[in-house]
């Protein structure tokens, strides 16, 4: 996708912005495939997901603990679509029941979001979360249980050797991201998926970054969904992010 955007722009360097899984994708790519750095001016990472061993979301932890994704994978279900007719309809019906607050339902997954209203929650339920590869879910569960950023574990040494040339999947080294590459990290104090401790661990891994190329923003009252659905995200997140991008264009 990055190569396509780069080509369409006439091979002009572009800015990358990602939220949640979109930040993990960027961190993995930038640390493992240095050619991506040459196509980018900078990267903005909102609710950065890297290390996952401090995730506090009850729903996420339960799914990882019971090997839910692995069970689906073994059953031959290659795609898990939470917005499919059955699941989406069930969520919608639950939200209509007396005394049920979908704000709280979302909070159990994302953390206690500060700045959402009922209309934004309904918009979220109409479009999110998107479907994902079951294999991707397995991969995330592996990283939650092990507390490291690593490539997918095929569960068999011979298969890992086939893909990686070694019996265990190699770890991603985010410290390998060039120190001069501009990064904007924005995290929230109430985020149960991008936990404060995990984000601090990521920042520590990037400590050799040049001070003028690593911008860190911390919003104590923000949780995971606030970064994309908060009514004040334009002022609190997107404004500083765009200012950061413009600074890299000079």
% of the chain residues with pLDDT over 70: 89
Of the two residues 106 and 170, the one the predictor is more confident about is 170
Tell me the chain's radius of gyration from C-alpha atoms. Answer: 19
Active-site entry in 112, 191, 198, 226 = 191
Residues 73-102 have pLDDT tens digits of 787 878 877 766 644 555 566 566 665 556
Distance CA 19, CA 110 (A): 13
Sign of the CA dihedral with 79 first, then 46, 26, and 63 last: negative
> Has 224 been annotated as catalytic?
yes
The domain segmentation of the chain, as residue ranges, is: 1-53+172-249, 58-164
**250: Cα within 13 Å, side-chain hemisphere:** 6
- 191 catalytic? Reply is yes
- Mean pLDDT throughout 134-147? 91
User: What average pLDDT does the segment 150-173 reach?
Assistant: 95
User: pLDDT grade, residue 70 (50/70/90)?
Assistant: confident
Catalytic option among 57, 187, 224, 226 = 224
Per-residue confidence at 119, pLDDT binned at 50, 70, 90?
Answer: confident
User: In this predicted model, which residue has the larger pLDDT, 174 or 69?
Assistant: 174
Domain 1-53+172-249, CATH among 3.40.1260.10, 3.65.10.10, 3.40.50.1820, 3.10.560.10: 3.40.50.1820
Q: For the segment 166-195, what is each residue's pLDDT rounded down to a tens digit?
A: 999 999 999 999 999 999 999 999 999 999
């Amino acid at each position: 996708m990055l190569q396509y955007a780069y080509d369409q722009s006439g091979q002009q360097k572009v800015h990358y912005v990602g939220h949640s899984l979109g930040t993990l994708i960027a961190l993995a790519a930038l640390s493992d495939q240095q050619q991506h750095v040459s196509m980018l001016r900078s990267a903005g990472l909102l609710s950065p997901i890297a290390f996952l061993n401090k995730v506090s979301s009850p729903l996420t932890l339960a799914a990882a603990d019971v090997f839910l994704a692995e069970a689906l994978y073994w059953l031959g279900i290659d795609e898990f679509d939470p917005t499919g007719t059955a699941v989406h309809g069930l969520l919608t019906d639950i939200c209509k029941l007396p005394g049920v607050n979908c704000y709280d339902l979302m909070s159990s997954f994302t953390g206690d979001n500060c700045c959402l209203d009922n209309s934004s929650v309904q918009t979220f339920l109409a479009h999110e979360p998107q479907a994902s590869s079951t294999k991707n879910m397995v991969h995330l569960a592996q990283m939650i249980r092990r507390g490291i950023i690593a490539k997918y574990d095929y569960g068999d040494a011979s298969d890992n050797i086939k893909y990686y040339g070694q019996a265990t999947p190699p770890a991603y080294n985010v410290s390998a991201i060039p120190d001069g590459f501009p990064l904007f990290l924005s995290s929230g104090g109430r985020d149960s998926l991008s936990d404060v401790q995990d984000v601090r661990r990521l920042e520590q891994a990037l400590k050799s970054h040049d001070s003028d190329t690593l911008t860190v923003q911390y919003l104590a009252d923000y949780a995971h969904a606030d970064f994309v659905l908060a009514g004040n995200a334009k002022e609190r997140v997107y404004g500083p992010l765009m200012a950061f991008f413009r600074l890299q264009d000079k």
